[in-house]
Structure 1
Amino acid sequence: MTALIARPITPESFAPFGRVYDLSGAASPDVKVMAGEGWADSFTLRPLIDGSGHLGMTQGPAAPWSCRQMERHPLTEEALFCATAPIVLAVAAASDAPAPAATTLAAFILRPGMVAVMKRGVWHDACRGLNGPAPYYWMALCGLGNDPWVPVAGGPVEVRA
């Protein structure tokens, strides 16, 4: 079984799959930060996803795991963000193929304050907690059709943090 080591997410490393926001850092061209006495408020300067998304929450088990299946959403972007603890996201390149290719998988670590917005059609597995089971939030348009989970072609792939 092929092994894949997750790396910290950055806008540059995640660019083939989507975009990244850091709401825990300083202001940037994509994020505005306002502060007062003992508080800071950060937000994205553009809407998080295209369209009026639905907010969801998933409880993920702990990494490492064997990535055997993935899903994709050709009709919506999907944003993922931590609730209280870091998570690991496994993705594969968007394609017209009927299944994600094991050779295109990448894995990223998101820490609280980081947001990953996947492009339409990017294959992904459910996230796992970096240091144990962890909840995380997602935002996407729902009810657009069936997005089946399919086996990873050439897989499975062992995802480690």
Structure 2
Amino acid sequence: MTGLDHIVARHATAEAFARFGTVYDLDGGRDEKVVWTDGNSWRDGFTHKPLISGSGHLGMTSGAAAPWRCAEMERHLGTEEAIFCAGAPVVLAVAPASAAPAPRRDEIEAFIVSPGQAVVMDRGVWHDACRGLTQPTAYFWMAICGLGASPWVPVEGGPLLVLADAGQGAIA
């Protein structure tokens, strides 16, 4: 989980991400949470159940590249939020849902979300905006909007450096 001064993102898998939500693999053809169909030189997959509960809004965010200092996070108590790539992998930093007024630095984890995957954060999971794995990158998100403010809150314990791989150095 958290080292003294940084964390290293790991690939989002169903097992690794379970305490924060659900991972769907729409590219590999083996996810049992996905319905698969084949056609004339194409393959299709869609989630067995709706991606989020309720009628979600589709949004897009553009983020700088990793590494970065995760200094503040937001959470959504009234909706799940799905994250999926627009074309290149992104890094998502999260902290568990809690009744606490701020995310705790020692509970932050980071995950690489690859094209073909969707991750759905449970209600109340703290998260930062995603950053590109190797370059500035845009990504899509889906959530129910208009449910009230989701303020950005400083991380309890101070900022934490998020690295996309163990070989990355510190940033200014």
**TM-score with structure 2 setting the length:** 0.92
| Superposed displacement of residue 28, structure 1 | 3.1
Q: CA RMSD of the aligned region, Å? A: 0.9
User: Could you say which residue in structure 2 is the equivalent of 1:127?
Assistant: 130
User: Could you say which residue in structure 1 is the equivalent of 2:49?
Assistant: 46
The separation in 2 between residues aligned to 1:112 and 1:30, in whole angstroms, is: 17
User: Could you say which residue in structure 1 is the equivalent of 2:21?
Assistant: 18
Q: Is 1:36 the equivalent of 2:24?
A: no
Per-residue Cα deviation, 1:90-133 (whole angstroms, up to 9, x for no partner)? 00011111100001100000110010000000000000000100
The separation in 2 between residues aligned to 1:76 and 1:119, in whole angstroms, is: 8
| Superposed displacement of residue 27, structure 1 | 4.0
2:24–2:31 contact (8 Å) kept in structure 1:
no
The separation in 2 between residues aligned to 1:29 and 1:130, in whole angstroms, is: 27
The separation in 2 between residues aligned to 1:155 and 1:89, in whole angstroms, is: 18
| Superposed displacement of residue 38, structure 1 | 1.7
Equivalent residue letter for 1:142: C
The separation in 2 between residues aligned to 1:25 and 1:116, in whole angstroms, is: 15
User: Could you say which residue in structure 2 is the equivalent of 1:80?
Assistant: 83
The separation in 2 between residues aligned to 1:62 and 1:140, in whole angstroms, is: 23
5+ long unaligned stretches in structure 1: none
| Structure 1 stretches of at least 4 aligned residues deviating more than 2 Å after TM superposition | none
The separation in 2 between residues aligned to 1:67 and 1:29, in whole angstroms, is: 33
Give the fraction of aligned pairs with identical amino acids, expressed as a percent. 60
Q: Is 1:59 the equivalent of 2:72?
A: no
The separation in 2 between residues aligned to 1:133 and 1:42, in whole angstroms, is: 28
5+ long unaligned stretches in structure 2: 165-172
Q: How many residues align?
A: 161
Which aligned pairs between 1:89-128 and structure 2 lie closer than 5 A?
Answer: 89-128=92-131
